[in-house]
Amino acid sequence: MSGFRPRNGLLVAVAASLAAAGVLAHEGATGVVAERMKAMEAVAADVKVLSRTLKSESTVTADVRSRVLRIRAQAHDILRLFPPGSNHGNTLARPEVWTQRDEFERLARAYDEASERLVASSAAGNLAETRRQFNDLTHQCASCHRKFRASQGEMRHSGEAH
């Protein structure tokens, strides 16, 4: 590193900061916006582990059950994390979250219901059904994101007109 001239060091820093756009989003976000980003990231981490363990394990493990319960808790809470007026700061939430509220709430409810079914099948120890419900849940994530979440490149910043 110390061998680089300052100009190169700067380029490295710029490249690193572009790669870390997601991290920067967290740094710029405050209040409920930061809270919902953290909640989404936590759920994404559980989903990642579950997609691995549900394939490799031959039973519904205690770890699977506890992750599924955590996902349901977040799903129950999801609308609270998008209150009116939280369409500001560094956020990936599209304005449609608020302007097409009925549709957003419909998808949030569908997600919540999918999480209930996932909890029920994992509590029953039914691995095949747990796998099926897990796939269904991840489709719910995707269908909401398709409509209501911007890509990192479209990240909006406070001060912009929207």
Q: Give the interface with ligand HEC as residue ranges (CB under 6 A).
A: 22, 25, 33, 36-37, 40-41, 43-44, 47, 78, 91-93, 97, 104, 107-108, 111, 137, 140-141, 144-145, 148-149
Compute the least distance from the CB of residue 124 to ligand HEC, in Å. Answer: 20
Return the number of the residue (36 or 60) whose C-beta is nearest ligand HEC.
36
Compute the least distance from the CB of residue 142 to ligand HEC, in Å. Answer: 8
Return the number of the residue (97 or 119) whose C-beta is nearest ligand HEC.
97
**Structure tokens, 124:** 């029953």
Per-residue HEC secondary structure of 83-150 comes to CCCCCCCCECECCHHHHCHHHHHHHHHHHHHHHHHHHHHHHCCCHHHHHHHHHHHHHHHHHHHHHHEC
Compute the least distance from the CB of residue 154 to ligand HEC, in Å. Answer: 11
CB 93, CB 79: distance < 8 Å: no
Return the number of the residue (9 or 38) whose C-beta is nearest ligand HEC.
38
Compute the least distance from the CB of residue 119 to ligand HEC, in Å. Answer: 13
Distances (CA, A) of 125 to 49, 52, 132, 146, 159: 18, 17, 13, 32, 50
